[in-house]
Structure 1
C-alpha cells in the first residue's frame, strides 16, 4: 500500500472515529446529567446535611463529566473539520483535546482503583444518619426524607446489629413494604451498577483516545508534509488513444493556418526578387547604369 492509499485510509478512519467520539461525548454528558439530576442521587442529596463529603464529591463528578463531554465533542469536531479541509492546525487542536481527555480518564481510573468504595460509603453514611435521626424523632423532617429514600430505591429499613429497635422502626416496613430488600443492599446494588457503567465508558474512552491520538498525529504529519488525499494542484494526463490526434480549438487552428500562409507568401516574394544565383537584381542594375 502506497503512501497516498495509507493517508486515504487514515482519513476515512479519522472521520469514523470522530463520529464515534462524538457519540461517546453524548453518552458521557447523559451519564453526568443522570448522576446529578437523577431521582436516586437527588433524593440522597436532598437528605444529606450541608458541608458533607458527598456534596463535594457529587459536584466534582458532575463537573468532571461535563468537562469530559465538552472536550470529546470539541476534539471530534476539530478532527472532522481538519480531515475534510486538510488543516494541520485544527488537527493539532483535536490531538490536544484527545490528550487532555486521556489524562483526565487516566486520573479518574487511578482514583477509582485506589478508592473503589468511596462514593458507596459516602451515600451509605448519609442513609445511616437519616435513618437514625428519623427513628429517634418520627415527627421530624428526617422521617419524610427517609420514606422518600426508601420509595426511590424500593427498599425498607436496614437489618444490622446496630439498628435501633422500637415501634418507630417497626412502622417503616408494613404490608407490601416488608417484602422489599434491605436499603443497605439496595443502595449498594444501585451504586455498583452505576459504577460499572461509568467504568465501561471510561475504558472505551481510554481505548478510543489512544486510537484517535495515533490517527490525528499521523494525519497532522501527513498534512504538513503535503500528502493530501485530493492531491490539490497536481494533474495527470491520460494516455492518447491509438490513431487519434489531439483536437485543438478552432480559433487556435485558424490562427496557425493564417500564419503558415503568411510565411508562404513572404517566401514567394523573396524568391521573385532573387535570381538564379540567389543574389538580388538591385546591384546588377546599378552596374549596368
Structure 2
C-alpha cells in the first residue's frame, strides 16, 4: 500500500473512531447522570448508616463520569477537526485528551477489580438499617423510608433463613407487596446490572482510547513530515502556473512564434497578453538584399 493510501485509510479510521468515541462519551454522561439523579440511588442516601462516606462516594462517581465524558467528547471533536483540516496542533491536543482519559479509565478499572462490591455493600447496609428502624420504631417515619425503598426497587422485606417471619415482619409485606421478590436479591440484581454496564463502558473506553492514540500519533507524524495529502479537489484541480515556469521546470524550451504570427520579429500586440515576448534572432543582410537596398535609395 502506498503512503498516500495509508494516510487516507488512517483518516477514514480516525473519523469513524471519533464518532464512536463521541457516542461513548454520551453514554458515560448518561450513566453518570442516572447514577446521581436516579431514584434507586437517591432513595438510599437519607437512610445510609455512614451518610458522609456514601455521599462522598456518590459524588465522586458522578464527577468522574462527567469528567471522562467531557474529555472523550473534546478528544473526538479535536481529532475530527484535525483530520479534516490537517492541523498538527489540534491532533496533539486530541492525543493529550485521549491519554488523560486512558489514565483515568485505568484507575477506574483498577478500582472495579479491587473493590467490585463496595457500592453494593453500602446500599445493602443502608437497606438493613432502614429495615431494622422500621421494625423497632413506633413512629411512621422509619416505615415510610422503608416503603419508599421497596417501592423503588419493586421488592418487599427480607426472607428469613428459617423461612418463618415474625408478626412485625409479616405486617410489612401485605397484599400485592407480599408477591414481590426479596429486597436483598432485588437490590443485588439491580446493582450488578448497573455494575456490568459501567464495566462495559470502561472496557470500550480503554479500547477506543488506545486505538485513537495510535491513529492520532500516526497522523500527527505524517503532518510533521509533510506527507499529509491534500484534498481530492486540490489534487484534481491543481493551481495553474505560468507557462514559462512550467517550461523551465520540465526542461523543454518555450515554443517560438512563427513568422506568420510574429511579423517583423516581434509578437503582435494582440498576442502579447498571456504569452512570453520573444525576439527572433536578427541575421546580417545578404549581399542581394544590400544591393536592393542601395538601388531603392538611389
Q: Same fold (TM over 0.5)?
A: yes
Q: Distance in 2 between matches of 1:61 and 1:54?
A: 11
Gaps of 5+ in 2: 241-254, 267-279
Instruction: Please state whether the residue corresponding to 1:171 is helix, strand or coil.
Output: helix
Q: TM-score, normalised by structure 1?
A: 0.81
State the Cα distance separating 1:67 from its structure 2 match.
Answer: 0.4
Q: CA RMSD for the aligned pairs?
A: 3.3
- Contact residue 138 and residue 168 of structure 1 kept, 8 A: no
Q: Are the aligned partners of 2:49 and 2:125 in contact in 1 as well (CA < 8 Å)?
A: no
Q: For residue 67 of structure 2, what is the aligned residue in structure 1? A: 67
Q: Does 1:57 align with 2:57?
A: yes
C-alpha distance in structure 2 between counterparts of 1:74 and 1:235, whole Å: 34
Distance, in Å, in 2 between the alignment partners of 1:259 and 1:146 is 104
How many pairs align?
263
CA–CA distance in structure 1, aligned partners of residues 189 and 75 of structure 2? 35
How far has the Cα of 1:195 moved from its partner? 0.3
CA distance in 2, matches of 1:221, 1:267: 54
Matches within 5 A, 1:1-289: 1-48=1-48, 51-160=51-160, 166-230=166-230, 235=238, 260-263=262-265, 271=285, 275=287
- The structural deviation recorded for 1:236 is 9.6
Q: Deviations over 1:73-132 (max 9, x none)?
A: 000000000000000010011111111111111111111101111110011111111111
Q: Residue in 2 aligned with 1:248? A: none
SS of aligned partner of 2:157: coil
Unaligned runs of 5+ in 1: 238-252, 283-289
**TM-score when scaled to structure 2?**
0.79
Aligned equivalents of 2:101 and 2:213: distance in 1?
Answer: 11
Instruction: Note closer, same or farther for the CA distance 1:268–1:12 as it changes in structure 2 (3 Å cut).
Output: closer
What SS does structure 1 have at the residue aligned with 2:172?
Answer: coil
Query: In the aligned structure 1, how far is the partner of 2:162 from the partner of 2:93?
Result: 56
- Residue 250 (structure 2) aligns with: none
Deviations 1:17-53 (A, max 9, x none): 0011000000000000111111111211243367432
2 CA distance for matches of 1:268 and 1:100? Answer: 76
